[in-house]
Amino acid sequence: MKKTIFTLSAILGLAFTGCMNDEAPPILQDTDNPVNPADNIVSVSGMISESTTWTSNNIYVLNQKVVVSSGVVLTIQAGTIIKGTEGNGSLASALIVAQGGKLNASGTATEPIIFTSINDNIEVGQTAGTNLDETNSGLWGGLIVLGNAPCSFSGDVQVVQIEGIPADDTFGLYGGGDATDNSGVYQYISIRHGGALIGEGNEINGLTLGGVGSGTLIDNIEVVANVDDGIEFFGGTVNASNLLVWSQGDDAIDIDQAYSGVIDNAVVVLGVNSDHAFEIDGPEGSATGSFTLRNATIVGNSVTENGEYADYRSGAMGTTENIYAYGFKDSSDVELDNDGVATNYNDGLLIFGEWEIVLPDGVSEVADLFVNKAASVEVSGFGSTANAVAQGEGTVGATTSLLSWTYANTKAGLDF
């Protein structure tokens, strides 16, 4: 079935347009007596130690790190707005769902749950403010979810600390042996303007998924204007569907540590600072896993300094199929970048299904976009499942109409 696609005019418009406190303080939350009753502002910080509900008539402000503890369920009503405060390093704000904790965040297409910056002038009942856009990033941290599902770590340990959270903060642990672990429900969530710096060259992803299990529901997630990656999967087995990443600073969808779930129906629109649409790494220990990434539309632009299609690294294992790509420049490529991943390709452990690519000006053959940079391993047929198509004639890729609810669609006027 032919997929709905972005128009060329839309992408041209787009092209121009944690380490936190070592000790978490007690929770400071009072929904009966908000900090600012006139504006319905509720200030939140520290550990959430009892199950609670955040309601859509309030705006919740994350002061530094807020942690959903093990055994606790935080329910967030549809249409609720959460804003993160400014700050880098130990002062960076983030919502962290620790191992054993759950977030029940079920937004809807008309009432998404919105994570954004304290600088965003969005108000209760709105889905977008007026003073920020896709160029405003790093204004707060992000959403971090940590589970007990298997990962592949160096040294074959089962559990490690997520990047950016100090080792003595035990709520930063992830990984384990429960493939069906359940970290809650995440539906119709828009995460905007994040990626605060938490260490030298280390920023928080828009959505970080560390060892998240298949019992978790992740569906209809948008990340806009994050400094680092849009969505990163550190191992785990969770499936994710209907994803949109727009104008991230590094990679849009990043896979690491033998992630073994299915990512289905995704849209990536690169911004002026973006790197790869996909960055795929493999296992770090002896445990292996195989991902599936399918039905994706990836949109480049001519002004991005890096702006690659995809980079497969470090022994990546899995399948990438039904990808439609356009708007990239002639120097962009799909890359096997070392001997290990090239060997996996030869051995059938890294599989490429159908790709349809609108050739950039200056590129005559679609196979020229598929590059093997391994030092000593040759490959045969890399890019043979890709076809060149005319703009607007793709038959694979994302069903983008399912993402018409997003801020990216409303703000940028993308044609779904």
Whether 113 shows a pLDDT value over 90: the answer reads: yes
| pLDDT at residue number 102 | 98
3-state secondary structure of 314: coil
pTM value is 0.92
Task: Flag whether 273 is in a domain.
Answer: yes
Task: Flag whether 369 is in a domain.
Answer: yes
| pLDDT at residue number 165 | 80
Task: Flag whether 317 is in a domain.
Answer: yes
State pLDDT tens for residues 292-301: 999 999 999 8
Task: Flag whether 176 is in a domain.
Answer: yes
Task: Flag whether 283 is in a domain.
Answer: yes
Total structural domains in the chain?
A: 1
Average pLDDT over residues 168-194: 96
Query: How sure is the predictor about 110, in pLDDT bands with cuts at 50, 70 and 90?
Result: very high
State pLDDT tens for residues 372-411: 999 999 999 999 999 999 999 999 999 999 999 999 998 8
- 3-state secondary structure string across 167-210: CCCHHHEECCCCCCCCCEEEEEEEEECCCCEEECCEECCCEEEE
Task: Flag whether 1 is in a domain.
Answer: no
Q: Which residues have a Cβ under 8 Å from the Cβ of 76 and sit 6 or more positions away?
A: 53, 54, 82, 103, 104, 105, 107, 113
| pLDDT at residue number 3 | 44
Task: Flag whether 328 is in a domain.
Answer: yes
Task: Flag whether 262 is in a domain.
Answer: yes
Q: Which domain holds residue 291?
A: 8-412
State pLDDT tens for residues 28-48: 444 443 444 446 999 999 999
Query: How sure is the predictor about 199, in pLDDT bands with cuts at 50, 70 and 90?
Result: low
Q: Which residues have a Cβ under 8 Å from the Cβ of 273 and sit 6 or more positions away?
A: 137, 247, 248, 249, 304, 305
